[in-house]
Chains A and B, each alone.
With several copies, the nearest count.
Chain A
Amino acid sequence: MHTIKEIQKEIIEDFAMFEDWIQKYEYLIDLGKELAPIDQKYKISENLIKGCQSRVWLHAEYAEGKIIYTADSDAIMTKGIVAILINVLSGQNPSEIATAKLDFINEIGLKEQLSPTRANGLVSMIKQMKLYAIAFSKQQ
């Protein structure tokens, strides 16, 4: 298992290869399509994070000192970004997640999608992922 830092570095390297936004978006779309499905029983309104336009469902499970996140979104581009975030944070331990600096967002040019003024629910999703981490770290 890689650290959050290492995974971010890899992602930055992946994105550095793209020549234009089209390649980048196509990659996000692919990631969205490939995201491991969330168990249907977690796709409920309690797990719904509402942006104005696209919806995100997030579920977190804690086992053996690590948090496993699963998620879904109705918009595929959002789902692609969700996939990256899960890639970075899922499987890490709570205190790492709670204190993680997600610098890679700026560097791969997704800053805009992840700005607090955007209507896609992603900012609330990151907040929610960290809240889970804080809650679970108290159980440690």
Chain B
Amino acid sequence: MLDVSKIRSQFPILSRKVNGQNLVYFDNGATTQKPQIVIDAESKYYANQNSNVHRGVHFLSGLATDKFEESRNTIQNFIGAKHKHEIIFTKGTTDSINLVASGFKTFLNKGDEIIISEQEHHSNIVPWQICCEQSGSNLKVIPILDNGEMDMDFFYNLLSENTKLVAVSHISNALGTINNVEKIIEKSHSVGAKVLIDGAQAASHISLNMQKLDADFYCFSAHKMFGPTGVGILYGKEDILNALPPYQSGGEMIKEVSFSGTTYADLPHKFEAGTPNISGVVAFKSAIDFISNLEVNKIAKYEEELLQYATSELLKIEGVRIYGTSKKKSAIISFNLEGLHPYDIGMIVDKMGIAIRTGHHCAQPIMERFNIPGTVRISLAVYNTKEEIDLCINAIKKAKIMLS
């Protein structure tokens, strides 16, 4: 069992007040809070280890490089990647997806197809729209069912030898659906298509093993898993990353530069142009250590408990409609109250110290799908409690009374 009060004590922000109330932070899908060890890792880096990485001969440069590469090792182990150089440091999930989309278009011909789903975050839609536009390929969309799951039969029918890439989320940030990515990967590979998984909402909630999962690309953000902002991961299989053209250029991604021609460095440097977010990468290791110490499976189990509790309490409020009701769900609850605008609910519960997100969650096609302007979203993390859920439910009830 997890000792949640001990976990909470590691997050300094959780003891702050908001509008005179204890903060209840339920906006974890947007970004999580940070434990003290992550905060300390950044401070310590700057106070004791800071230097630019990779090319320096001097002691600090070596130290910073070792710390930086230690993070890469840690992440490799955390996601079960085969090679260390399959881990590329980016700015975030959005950056990772853009990197792939920008390179992948050079593999595409007119008439080729990319498949995404109706459930995707804008960051896993727009890069593919642009990629298709620039390569003359077609974008195909897997619709979602009323319960928030992808229509898998529709997907199987979409798949063909024209399919070159399937890009879908592991967990929907707007609905919480845990998608059957194993099946999607298997079926996609059977027609020879590559698969990119947007794991932004999954990476600290589901235990990952790239070698088993067999995804060709997997993307996630440190800031959604107790790590710093400005750090993301692109995992890619070695051979595909080798085939992909470089994305940004300059700095460390170069082997030789001259005006008659430039050659590029090997993986992972080929995709890491410019001075990286060194302090962020170094501190990300502490976030992974934090997660590994708790164990992802135990986190998932506790979050499942919170999800069940919050869902059943919420459904006791008359007029609540939850969007996303699939059996396999992450601890994300998107809902509306009949006749009320999500923005109004968010404004009022905020005054009671409760941080929930309202709006379209950067997933406008889903809002269109359900014909709503947005939803109220509760997204839970391992430091949340049933008591907090009670406070939130009461606040929502209060909002409902005020607004009705």
Q: Is B348 an interface residue (CB 8 A)?
A: yes
Contact status of A77 and B344, CB under 8 A, knowing A53-B57, A119-B57? yes
Contact of A75 among B54, B56, B341 (CB under 8 A): B341
Q: Is B62 an interface residue (CB 8 A)?
A: yes
Closest Cβ of chain A to B174, distance in Å, is 14
| Binary contact readout A64-82 vs B (1 if CB under 8 angstroms, 0 otherwise) | 0000000000111110000
Closest Cβ of chain B to A73, distance in Å, is 9
Contact status of A117 and B66, CB under 8 A, knowing A29-B402, A53-B57, A53-B343? yes
Residues of chain A with a CB closer than 8 A to B373's CB: 53, 55, 74
Residues of chain A with a CB closer than 8 A to B341's CB: 54, 74-76
A54 and B343 form a contact (CB under 8 A): yes
User: Most chain-B CB neighbours within 10 Å: which of A53, A116, A120?
Assistant: A53
Q: Is A63 an interface residue (CB 8 A)?
A: no
Q: Is B92 an interface residue (CB 8 A)?
A: no
Q: Is B55 an interface residue (CB 8 A)?
A: yes
- A119–B65 alpha-carbon span in the complex (Å): 11
| Binary contact readout B233-271 vs A (1 if CB under 8 angstroms, 0 otherwise) | 000000000000000000000010000000000000000
Q: Is A19 an interface residue (CB 8 A)?
A: no
Residue of B nearest to A51 (CB): B343
Residue of A nearest to B65 (CB): A117
**Chain B interface: which of A6-14, A20-28, A85-93?**
A20-28
| Binary contact readout A33-45 vs B (1 if CB under 8 angstroms, 0 otherwise) | 0000000000000
Main secondary structure of the interface of A (DSSP, over half): loop
Residues of chain B with a CB closer than 8 A to A47's CB: none
Q: Is B347 an interface residue (CB 8 A)?
A: yes
Give residues of chain B (382-404) contacting chain A, Cβ–Cβ below 8 Å.
402-403
Residues of chain B with a CB closer than 8 A to A25's CB: 347-348, 351, 402
Q: Is B19 an interface residue (CB 8 A)?
A: yes
B344 and A76 form a contact (CB under 8 A): yes
Contact of B347 among A22, A50, A55, A77 (CB under 8 A): A77
A119 and B54 form a contact (CB under 8 A): yes
Q: Is A118 an interface residue (CB 8 A)?
A: yes
Closest Cβ of chain B to A45, distance in Å, is 11
Q: Is B69 an interface residue (CB 8 A)?
A: yes
Residues of chain A with a CB closer than 8 A to B342's CB: 53
A52 and B359 form a contact (CB under 8 A): yes
Closest Cβ of chain A to B133, distance in Å, is 24
- A82–B56 alpha-carbon span in the complex (Å): 20
Contact of B62 among A50, A75, A78, A112 (CB under 8 A): A112
Residues of chain B with a CB closer than 8 A to A21's CB: 19, 351
Q: Is A115 an interface residue (CB 8 A)?
A: yes
Q: Is B358 an interface residue (CB 8 A)?
A: yes
Contact of B402 among A26, A55, A120 (CB under 8 A): A26
Residues of chain B with a CB closer than 8 A to A76's CB: 341, 344, 403
Q: Is B35 an interface residue (CB 8 A)?
A: no
Q: Is B29 an interface residue (CB 8 A)?
A: no
Give residues of chain A (94-140) contacting chain B, Cβ–Cβ below 8 Å.
112, 115-120
Q: Is B374 an interface residue (CB 8 A)?
A: yes
- A54–B65 alpha-carbon span in the complex (Å): 18
Contact of A53 among B66, B351, B359, B402 (CB under 8 A): B359
B343 and A120 form a contact (CB under 8 A): yes
Residue of B nearest to A117 (CB): B65
- A75–B348 alpha-carbon span in the complex (Å): 12
| Interface CB pairs A-B, < 8 A, 17 | A22-B351, A25-B402, A26-B402, A53-B343, A53-B359, A53-B360, A53-B374, A54-B341, A54-B343, A74-B373, A75-B343, A75-B344, A78-B343, A115-B66, A117-B65, A119-B359, A120-B343
- Which residues of B are at the interface with A, using a C-beta cutoff of 8 A? 19, 54-57, 62, 65-66, 69, 255, 341-344, 347-348, 351, 358-360, 373-374, 402-403
Q: Which 4 A-B pairs have the closest CB atoms?
A: A75-B341, A75-B343, A117-B65, A53-B343
Having A76-B344, A117-B62, A119-B359, one finds 4 other A-B pairs with CB under 8 Å, namely A21-B19, A25-B347, A52-B360, A54-B341
- Which residues of A are at the interface with B, using a C-beta cutoff of 8 A? 21-22, 25-26, 29, 50, 52-55, 74-78, 112, 115-120
